[in-house]
Chains A and B, each alone.
Chain A
Amino acid sequence: MSATPPEVGQELPVLTWTPGFDVWNRFAAVNDEFVPIHMDDEAGREAGYPAAFGMGYLQWSWAHNVLREFVGEEGRIDRVQGSFRAPSLKGVEVSAGGRVTSVSQDDTGRVVCELEIWTRAADGVPLLPGSATVSFPARH
């Protein structure tokens, strides 16, 4: 956390990716997620989608990248929730970000932030809307 405490309405820095097989293959390799809908356009179409599309859990990781940048070395990610709403398609830029919706202190004095988090496609279609709770050490 920066020297300035988080504030309600604070927007987290947005991170962006342009997904495709170079991105998906790397994630498939570490998560052992070699699934036809993520590897083959015909399989994606058979499942009712325009083509092969990216893994939902990769979206989840990208949302965590945004949160890790926000909490820094001292903060802690306590809870993350998200729903996979739409596919991430090849060549369609994805952005990930968030916004602080509440700031409070718990019984131990830790600063607790609730956030709205999201990943979305370039046309604004939400891919992974969700929420998160992060916390920081008590400030003295």
Chain B
Amino acid sequence: MSGPALTLVSEAMTAAIGSEVSRRVSFPISPSDIRKWAIAVYYPRHPPARYWDAEYVERELGGRWVAPQEFNPFAWMTANPSGFPEVDRLDPDLLEKTLGIPGPGLRYQLNGGLDVEYHGDLVAGDVITAVRVLESYAERSGRLGQMLFTTNRETWTNQRGETVQVRRQTGIRY
């Protein structure tokens, strides 16, 4: 008789499903942030004027700078948590450590995919709050060995409490 199948998902990890993983608050989005993001993602082309031309934004958009939909307002530093938190963002066990449980101890991690609902714009001056919840674990055997798929659901709201995005991100660890 064979023994129990090995699993990467401990009982503690299963019990943590549904837990809040993190809560972040951005600094106010600035036109400069929008400009740089657009230049980078359109490179080597020039981005549309609405992302970099202040005169165009003033004349055509009433001064309303709207970021590209996939813009990341949390890059580099957040307003909350503030400063330089001592976390190793490259640690594959970071999620479980944040939840206070042992992780699966896998060595590598990749971005597996995204599913984002856009409910509102990211506008210069907005302060975005992101609340992340652990949604699921799944395992699969693949070319890279036994792989763990982890899905988090993150809801972004602006300073008016309006939901602007609901994001599901799947990470792959192996």
Contacts and interface: CB of A to CB of B under 8 A. Distances in A.
A111 interface: no
Interface of B: 33, 36-37, 39-44, 48, 68-70, 72, 75-76, 90, 108, 110-118, 143-144, 170
Contacts of B170: 83
Contacts of B33: 30
Contacts, number: 83
A66 B76 CA distance: 27
A83 B140 CA distance: 15
A61 B41 contact: yes
Nearest to A47: B108
26 contacts: A22-B43, A22-B44, A23-B43, A29-B40, A32-B75, A47-B108, A48-B143, A48-B144, A56-B110, A56-B111, A57-B72, A60-B70, A61-B68, A64-B68, A65-B41, A68-B48, A68-B68, A78-B117, A79-B116, A79-B118, A80-B114, A80-B118, A83-B112, A84-B110, A84-B111, A130-B113
Interface string A74-101: 0011111111100000000000000000
B144 A76 contact: no
A58 interface: yes
A57 B70 contact: yes
A70 interface: no
Contacts of B113: 81-84, 130
Contacts of B42: 65
A89 to B, nearest CB: 15
A75 to B, nearest CB: 12
A47 B172 CA distance: 12
Contacts of B76: 32
A30 B48 CA distance: 17
A29 B40 CA distance: 8
A54 B116 CA distance: 21
Instruction: Tell which of A61, A76, A78 has the most Cβ of chain B within 10 Å.
Output: A61
Interface string A11-53: 0000001000011001101111001100000000001100000
Nearest to A62: B41
B112 A84 contact: yes
A30 B36 contact: yes
Contacts of A32: 75-76
Contact of B115 (A36, A77, A81): A81
Contacts of A80: 69-70, 114-116, 118
A56 B33 CA distance: 20
Which 8 pairs across A and B sit closest by C-beta, in order of nearness? Answer: A83-B113, A61-B41, A56-B111, A26-B40, A81-B115, A32-B75, A30-B40, A32-B76
Contacts of A64: 41, 68-70
Nearest to A15: B45
B139 to A, nearest CB: 17
Contacts of A26: 39-40, 43
